[in-house]
Amino acid sequence: MASGDSKVYRASTTAPVNIAVVKYWGKRDSKLNLPTNSSLSVTLSQSDLRTLTTASCSASYATSPETSSDSLLLNGKPEDVTGARTQACFRELRRRRAALEAADSSLPKLSTFPLRLVSENNFPTAAGLASSAAGFAALVRAVADLYELPDSPAELSLIARQGSGSACRSLFGGYVAWREGKAEDGSDSMADQVAEAAHWPDMRALVLVASAAKKGVSSTSGMQQTVATSGLFKERIATVVPQNMARMEKAIQERDFEAFAEVTMRDSNSFHATCADTYPPIFYMNDVSRAAVRAVEAINAKAGRTVAAYTFDAGPNAVVYYLEKDSEPVVGTFNHVLGEVEGWKKEVLAGLKPTMSLDEGVAALLKSGISRVIMTGVGEGPQKTEEHLL
Amino acid sequence: MASGDSKVYRASTTAPVNIAVVKYWGKRDSKLNLPTNSSLSVTLSQSDLRTLTTASCSASYATSPETSSDSLLLNGKPEDVTGARTQACFRELRRRRAALEAADSSLPKLSTFPLRLVSENNFPTAAGLASSAAGFAALVRAVADLYELPDSPAELSLIARQGSGSACRSLFGGYVAWREGKAEDGSDSMADQVAEAAHWPDMRALVLVASAAKKGVSSTSGMQQTVATSGLFKERIATVVPQNMARMEKAIQERDFEAFAEVTMRDSNSFHATCADTYPPIFYMNDVSRAAVRAVEAINAKAGRTVAAYTFDAGPNAVVYYLEKDSEPVVGTFNHVLGEVEGWKKEVLAGLKPTMSLDEGVAALLKSGISRVIMTGVGEGPQKTEEHLL
């Protein structure tokens, strides 16, 4: 109920992007966004990639047509918040705030005010970097902070999951698992932190952004086509992913890069294989992506050990994981071919001598197909900030 | 034993190429070339694609260094016949001839003479059209004819299988299955005819040959990498292929093109998915191949029913199956984009009006990547001929 209070309440947060090393692909329940398998991701550093979201609410919003309904402005453009996913997040967050208000009548009735959210990414949407994960994590975190909810990040991940499955993993920093859960109502399908960023300080990621790639099949639609039509998919969820999850957690705990890398590459291959086995087939990787695979293989062969791991999401961009001490073979080799594109960090390049050349055909594909790179590392979960967008 | 007989015995045969619609990929026994699963192929017309082989032997060959060892000249170049595969074929054929000679002493002892084979393909090797199947089928058939063996084509397929697995299917025309068999010694792993070519007279095939594509991983090596490393492969051999074999045989028996097409496309996708799931991943299809997939999907969508089916072997070439009555949407659409390349049959094109345009990107990829086409149909098994190459 309107209290005559025209105060504008607000809370801002930044939230990270995460890149899965054991992929989420397939829902067992579309409405609740419950997955067919567990997944595990690396949270990327917010210095390089982050969503900043300010969540605000006010009784006064109700009095003006532009703000009387919930709204979200993303990178300056109004977003549709009427969809089931965003509504599920708002509804659940409001429910928890309303419970606090019912228990303490002195609390302002924020749950009853329209919400006005403003959000900005510090990376281009055209980079195809799964900004919905960062976006929904920021939305949930910001509104939770606005509402002063006592819920843990794990409990908030339950809500973020309903906005966008992989968003639940962006509620934490470092290395994050999304446990598939068993409950029909999804009350145990949530994220937890496997290890914090500082656990493995040398981990780095190099993103190779494929230029102007046409948007492929949406993840939500694609994964359900895979569930429905891929004859090989059953084996992935029954056997391959559970094994990969166990191996990946162990590799992270032990800081075993060779094991981390092998599981990362094999899980990416497995995921894309089930996409290719879908009917009609889904092809997210293109010849440029495959050139990146060959480049990583060549770098590892030259080094005589595994120093780089590729992984691909639902798009042609390559994310290459490596350790800082192996910057020369990894960054050096890619920089030798892609030195002209934006994104290289001069301070990292200084002193790196390229130690090898890539196959001509591979180099040509990379040169023609990669429009920019992003050099980053592993970072923290959502961070409260006083930088407000309204 | 040399009999002083300087007569040159010879027999010539032509043998066809076959393109699998349920793929062979994976050996359960490398030495005997026993597969992990059954497979089924369409024998293409020899008017368009064939190997001609003349097998000869003579006591007089033993007296000259150039001919005293078995030899094979393929398209004018000497081939290595000392490898285990070719030796297995020669050994088995000689064994059967020797048995005839032991039972009838009047027979010339052909099994003891050096063999001299000359072989020619009427299609370019660069077309990447699995000429080893036609080649080994011709070799086995020609030597069997030379030796006047009474063995059936099915029994001869057992021998051809040891030369090159898929060669066993080229011992028959029409629609041919290679039953995986159960016996450890491979005595029941052989081919049989599912239906003759005349059973379905309207079936056609259009091969889109990708230009100058670099040769990928060899089939023999690749399939064993898949067996060893693909987590999804188990499901393919346990469930997917058996189902596909049953559905395919039914579709052929009933001349049900929609079912034939769906199984063909899905099995090709499944096979390539297990290649992508191999570690390191094997990529036989490229962006041009995928453009062909999209083109077929667009043609089917426009027609409102399935009029074309794609399939890909261990390389980027597309083979598109269709029925003669649907030449306009299928041949017409591809000809509209690829009219400049060689291989179109003018008599088929006459009167075809292109009914649709393909997506710009798809058309551009096809134009840039397809160097020739081959229009063909379904044909017969090996044919005796008096056309001798020596």
pLDDT of residue B1: 47
Residues of A in contact with B270 (CB under 8 A): 231-232, 277
The reply to whether A390 falls in a domain is no
Global ipTM: 0.92
Position B214 pLDDT exceeds 70: no
Position B238 pLDDT exceeds 90: yes
The reply to whether A388 falls in a domain is no
Q: Do B273 and A269 touch (CB under 8 A)?
A: no
Q: Do B234 and A231 touch (CB under 8 A)?
A: no
Sequence-distant (6+) residues with CB within 8 A of A237 are A26, A36, A37
pLDDT of residue A120: 95
Q: DSSP assignment, residue B44?
A: B
The reply to whether B390 falls in a domain is no
Interface test with A, best of B277, B290, B311 (most A CBs within 10 A): B277
Q: Do B240 and A232 touch (CB under 8 A)?
A: yes
pLDDT of residue A352: 86
The reply to whether B382 falls in a domain is no
Which whole number is the average pLDDT over B70-78? 92
* Chain centroid offset of residue A68 CA: 31
- Whether the CB of B204 is below 8 Å from some CB of chain A: the reply is no
Position B264 pLDDT exceeds 70: yes
Q: Do A270 and B239 touch (CB under 8 A)?
A: no
Are B93 and B220 within one domain? no
Which whole number is the average pLDDT over B234-243? 97
- Whether the CB of B83 is below 8 Å from some CB of chain A: the reply is no
Are A131 and A270 within one domain? no
Are A113 and A215 within one domain? no
Specify the CATH number for the domain of residue A215. 3.30.70.890
Of B231, B236, B266, the CB nearest to A279: B266
Are A81 and A53 within one domain? yes
Specify the CATH number for the domain of residue A189. 3.30.230.10
Q: Give the amino acid at B209.
A: V
* CA distance to partner chain B, nearest, from residue A286 (Å): 6
- Last residue of a domain, which of B141, B161, B196? B196
- Indicate the pLDDT class of residue B4, thresholds 50, 70 and 90: low
Task: For residue B280, say if its preceding peptide bond is cis, omega within 30 degrees of 0.
Answer: yes
Q: Do A281 and B269 touch (CB under 8 A)?
A: yes
- Last residue of a domain, which of A170, A196, A222? A196
Are B282 and B147 within one domain? no
pLDDT of residue A113: 96
What is the share, in percent, of chain B residues with pLDDT greater than 70?
A: 96
Which whole number is the average pLDDT over B241-256? 98
The reply to whether A144 falls in a domain is yes
The reply to whether A240 falls in a domain is yes
- Residues B316-332 have pLDDT tens digits of 999 999 999 999 999 99
pLDDT of residue A97: 98
Position B342 pLDDT exceeds 70: yes
Of A234, A278, A297, the CB nearest to B235: A234
Sequence-distant (6+) residues with CB within 8 A of A162 are A32, A33, A85, A88, A89, A92, A186
Q: Which domain holds residue B74?
A: 4-196
Are B192 and B233 within one domain? no
- Whether the CB of A236 is below 8 Å from some CB of chain B: the reply is yes
Are B163 and B222 within one domain? no
Are A190 and A209 within one domain? no
Task: For residue A280, say if its preceding peptide bond is cis, omega within 30 degrees of 0.
Answer: yes
Q: How far apart are the first and last CA of chain A?
A: 24
Are A252 and A273 within one domain? yes
Backbone angles phi, psi at B263, to 5 degrees: -65, -40
What's the structural domain count of chain A? 2
Q: Residue B283 and residue A150: Cα distance in Å, rounded? A: 50
- The model's pTM is 0.94
Interface test with B, best of A270, A277, A359 (most B CBs within 10 A): A277
Are A361 and A297 within one domain? yes
pLDDT of residue A26: 97
- Indicate the pLDDT class of residue B13, thresholds 50, 70 and 90: very high
Are B147 and B210 within one domain? no
The reply to whether B385 falls in a domain is no
Q: Residue A176 and residue A194: Cα distance in Å, rounded? A: 5
Q: Which residues, numbered 292 to 321 in chain A, qualify as contacts with chain B under a Cβ-Cβ cut-off of 8 Å?
A: 293, 297
Sequence-distant (6+) residues with CB within 8 A of A211 are A369, A370, A371, A372
- Whether the CB of B290 is below 8 Å from some CB of chain A: the reply is yes
The per-residue pLDDT string of chain A (390 residues; one tens digit each, 9 = 90 and over) reads 445 568 999 999 999 999 999 999 999 999 999 999 999 999 999 999 999 999 999 999 999 888 899 999 988 999 999 999 999 999 999 999 999 999 999 999 999 999 999 999 988 776 667 678 999 999 999 999 999 999 999 999 999 999 999 999 999 999 999 999 999 999 999 999 999 999 999 999 999 999 666 668 889 999 999 999 999 999 999 999 999 999 999 999 999 999 999 999 999 999 999 999 999 999 999 999 999 999 999 999 999 999 999 999 999 999 999 999 999 999 999 999 999 999 999 988 988 887 789 999 999 999 999 999 999 999 999 999 999 999
Residues of B in contact with A273 (CB under 8 A): 230, 232, 273-274, 276-277
- Residues B265-308 have pLDDT tens digits of 999 999 999 999 999 999 999 999 999 999 999 999 999 999 99
Of B265, B276, B287, the CB nearest to A287: B287
Q: Which residues, numbered 208 to 227 in chain B, qualify as contacts with chain A under a Cβ-Cβ cut-off of 8 Å?
A: 214
pLDDT of residue B272: 98
Which whole number is the average pLDDT over B29-39? 96
Take residue A154 and report the two structure tokens written for it: 């794990």
Position B3 pLDDT exceeds 90: no
The edge-to-edge listing of strands for the beta sheet with A9-16 is A77-79, A71-74, A115-121, A50-57, A9-16, A383-385
What's the mean pLDDT when you consider all of chain A?
Answer: 94
Are B22 and B171 within one domain? yes
Which whole number is the average pLDDT over B172-178? 98
The reply to whether B389 falls in a domain is no
Take residue B38 and report the two structure tokens written for it: 């059954």
Residues of A in contact with B269 (CB under 8 A): 276-279, 281
- Last residue of a domain, which of A196, A222, A252? A196
Interface test with A, best of B22, B225, B237, B269 (most A CBs within 10 A): B269
B-chain residue closest to A214, CA distance:
B361
